[in-house]
Homo-oligomer: A and B are copies of this chain.
Amino acid sequence: MQKQEHLTKNQQIVLDLVEKSSEPLKAYSILFNVQKKGLKAPLQVYRALDKLVEIGKIHKVESRNAFVACKNSSCQVSKATAFSICESCEKVTEINNSKLSKYLNNFQDNSGMKYSKYNLEFFGLCKKCKNK
């Protein structure tokens, strides 16, 4: 079987929802929102999420246990992700900075480990919240 080149029904339903959302979505919030479309059990959502993360269509924001659609169309796999997170309003934005990604993709320390993947989360106050 060759690599799946199209999304299955469940994957597409979940992706559509996450892409339409202006904020990170939690798994059970996704579940609630897709129940009318026939996905009734958590596992159906988690399996779709797993696959979508694997192929890079969405990313998991680890510190929030939430999922966002990848805005970077060239992103084929979730192997180099960076986010900015506002600790006040919880707005999350994917950082797309080629200098940063180059720096991190090339990072090596003296551990002998070759890193194939990273996830970076920055925290602070967004412009709006800073001025309150």
Contacts and interface: CB of A to CB of B under 8 A. Distances in A.
Interface of A: 62-63, 84, 86-87, 93, 95, 97, 100, 103-104, 107, 109, 111-127, 130
A116 B123 contact: yes
A129 to B, nearest CB: 9
Contact of A119 (B63, B97, B109, B126): B63
Contact of A109 (B97, B111, B114, B118): B97
Contacts of A63: 62, 119
A115 B107 contact: no
Nearest to A130: B114
A97 B87 CA distance: 26
Given A62-B121, A112-B127, 16 more contacts: A62-B63, A87-B117, A93-B111, A104-B120, A111-B127, A112-B130, A113-B124, A113-B130, A114-B124, A115-B124, A116-B123, A117-B123, A118-B120, A118-B123, A119-B120, A120-B121
Contact of A120 (B87, B113, B120, B127): B120
Contacts of A62: 62-63, 121
A113 B97 contact: no
Nearest first, the 3 closest Cβ-Cβ pairs linking A and B are A62-B62, A117-B123, A112-B127
